A and B are shown apart, each in its own frame.
Chain A
Amino acid sequence: MAIAQTMNGALRRLPAWTIYIVGAVYAVWEFWRALNQIGPYLVEPINVLERAYGEIALILMVVGLMVTPLRKLTGVNLIKFRRAIGVTAFFFVLAHFLVFAILDVQSVSRVWEEVVKRPYVTVGMLSFLMLIPLAVTSNNMSVRKMGAAAWRKMHKLTYPAAILGAVHYLWLVKGFQLEPIIYLVAILGLVAVRYVSLERQKQPA
């Protein structure tokens, strides 16, 4: 595990807040490209930006869910970045929602209509709502106030939120498309790994 140790040593010097900086720079960069209709944003920037923010949120959720299995499997420890990864994922979901609400459907009544009428929007919205309390309590003060056990229990909401996010994507696309299936399988796998390892721990030694 020499490689893991070297990596952990390097990662120790990297502060967790770099995740926020990179996330913010990426979000602004994509918005700027959409505004100026550069590259993939040439013709229809609204839809493409909406997708870009949604997809990076899903990627960050997958990465966040990988932190624990990765440590167990390889010894590489990303645990100090996990909160920043999760909160950044939330910010991209929020950005995705804002592009949808303000730039895409453009009115409160239409947002409501979409949420009520279209199941893929409904599940996306549910995922977003589940993430709000998690983002709000992603600080040490909340852990202390709630108590570690209660806090940990509540933050298990990450699992259904991530699954619903992937279902939202799969439901939204037309025809048989591989990408959303990959996200859903990855997330279901990463959640399942937790329950498998939990079950093992419960068994008497």
Chain B
Amino acid sequence: MAYRWTNTLTKADITPKAAYFNRRQILAGTVGLGAIGLAGGASAQGDLEPNTLEEITSYNNFYEFGTGKGDPAANAHQLQTSPWSIKVDGMVDNPGDYALDDLLAGLSVEDRIYRFRCVEAWSMVIPWNGIELADILNKVGVQSGAKYVAFETVVQPENMIGVQRRVLDFPYVEGLRLDEAMHPLSIMATGIYDEPIYNQNGAPIRLVVPWKYGFKSIKSIVRITLTDVEPPTSWNKANPREYGFYSNVNPTVDHPRWSQASERRIGGGLFAQRQDTLMFNGYPEVASLYEGQDLSVDI
């Protein structure tokens, strides 16, 4: 069911298109646009001034297109996104290969302004347009024994330099527990700033789970599988000591490579100050999903 979660910000708070492409020019001339961000202070929702489209589309991790942050923007134009179909299989009532449009037909696209926190300790705020994952799962009919949802990214070796270089064991795979997948915060994004999502951001459709580190939000999805066993996930396979299945944003659990206590919001320039990372990335409403779990063990 759509509209189960609402931003405290409305659509009017999204920076107008004329302004968002290059915020620095705007800031040079006026102080007005910054007010949203400044007025909110430390409150969980109040500091959500979206990053510019330029920032969102030019600083990415999408290892199929190279390991540099600018590589996806440079190489992802090679991704073929049309036609696009998604294989839905496993413990579902209506399995099959769905054309993307058919899978999404009749479902509501919503605006969701979310914090996005990378495990590398940088973050952005992104105004997504997307469909609740629960709506899609209900449409295909989840069978009663299913406990997990597995996702798979497309592999187009001839178009993906990172696949040729075997940076990871491709295809990239990710997964969620069913209750996480059904949470109203979990969406499948098809747009950013009301534009079709750019290839480097995971066109034509990607997962967004805002309380987890960014690598959980798998891009360019071609397969969704309902299963009763915890599915393998790519970074966990690559380095199980460093990347757990849950990978919830948690400032109290350190990652071996990066302190997770603080982060740097993209867009602050060379002298950007670090800010404290919030538990569940500032989405405390998901805490109930993990009652009875020790999150320092279930990383």
| Contacting residues, chain B, for A21 (C-beta < 8 A) | none
Q: Are A43 and B257 in contact (CB under 8 A)?
A: no
With A43-B55, A44-B59, A177-B167: A34-B270 Cβ-Cβ less than 8 Å: yes
- In the complex, the chain A residue whose C-beta lies closest to that of B234 is A175
A124 close to B (CB within 8 Å): no
With A118-B256, A175-B167, A177-B167: A44-B63 Cβ-Cβ less than 8 Å: no
Q: Give complex CA distance A49, B270 in Å.
A: 9
- With both chains docked as a complex, state the minimum distance between the C-beta of A167 and any C-beta of chain B, in angstroms: 14
- With both chains docked as a complex, state the minimum distance between the C-beta of B264 and any C-beta of chain A, in angstroms: 7
- In the complex, the chain B residue whose C-beta lies closest to that of A106 is B274
| Contacting residues, chain B, for A105 (C-beta < 8 A) | 259, 274
Q: Are A110 and B58 in contact (CB under 8 A)?
A: no
Q: How large is the interface on A (under 10, 10 to 19, 20 to 34, 35 or more residues)?
A: 20 to 34
**By CB atoms of chain B within 10 A, which of A119, A174, A178 has the most?**
A174
Q: Are B254 and A46 in contact (CB under 8 A)?
A: no
| Contacting residues, chain A, for B274 (C-beta < 8 A) | 105-106
User: Digit string of A12-49 for contact with B (CB within 8 Å is 1, else 0)?
Assistant: 00000000000000000000001101001111111111
Q: Are B166 and A176 in contact (CB under 8 A)?
A: yes
Q: Are A45 and B270 in contact (CB under 8 A)?
A: yes
- With both chains docked as a complex, state the minimum distance between the C-beta of B121 and any C-beta of chain A, in angstroms: 9
**By CB atoms of chain A within 10 A, which of B70, B168, B258 has the most?**
B70
* B207-258 CB contacts (< 8 Å) to partner A: 235, 238-239, 254, 256-258
Q: Give complex CA distance A172, B255 in Å.
A: 12
Q: Are B270 and A46 in contact (CB under 8 A)?
A: yes
- With both chains docked as a complex, state the minimum distance between the C-beta of B299 and any C-beta of chain A, in angstroms: 16
* B51-88 CB contacts (< 8 Å) to partner A: 54-55, 58-59, 63, 67, 69-70
Q: Are B122 and A175 in contact (CB under 8 A)?
A: no
| Contacting residues, chain B, for A49 (C-beta < 8 A) | 270
| Contacting residues, chain A, for B10 (C-beta < 8 A) | none
Q: Are A43 and B266 in contact (CB under 8 A)?
A: yes
| Contacting residues, chain A, for B168 (C-beta < 8 A) | 175-176
| Contacting residues, chain A, for B54 (C-beta < 8 A) | 42-43
State which of A43, A110, A177 has its C-beta within 8 Å of the C-beta of B67: A177
User: Digit string of B246-288 for contact with A (CB within 8 Å is 1, else 0)?
Assistant: 0000000010111100101011011111100000000000000
| Contacting residues, chain A, for B167 (C-beta < 8 A) | 175-177
With A43-B55, A175-B63, A176-B166: A37-B273 Cβ-Cβ less than 8 Å: no
| Contacting residues, chain B, for A43 (C-beta < 8 A) | 54-55, 58-59, 69, 266-267
B165 close to A (CB within 8 Å): yes
* A138-179 CB contacts (< 8 Å) to partner B: 172-178
Q: Give complex CA distance A7, B174 in Å.
A: 56
| Contacting residues, chain A, for B239 (C-beta < 8 A) | 174
Q: Give complex CA distance A34, B235 in Å.
A: 31
Q: Give complex CA distance A43, B70 in Å.
A: 9
A120 close to B (CB within 8 Å): yes
- With both chains docked as a complex, state the minimum distance between the C-beta of B297 and any C-beta of chain A, in angstroms: 19
- In the complex, the chain A residue whose C-beta lies closest to that of B272 is A46
A-B contact pairs, 17 of them (CB 8 A): A35-B269, A37-B269, A37-B270, A41-B270, A42-B55, A43-B55, A43-B69, A46-B264, A46-B270, A48-B69, A103-B271, A110-B259, A118-B258, A174-B239, A175-B67, A175-B167, A176-B168
Known: A37-B24, A44-B122. 16 other contacts (CB 8 A): A34-B270, A35-B270, A37-B269, A41-B270, A43-B55, A44-B59, A45-B269, A46-B264, A47-B122, A103-B270, A110-B262, A119-B256, A174-B239, A175-B238, A176-B167, A177-B167
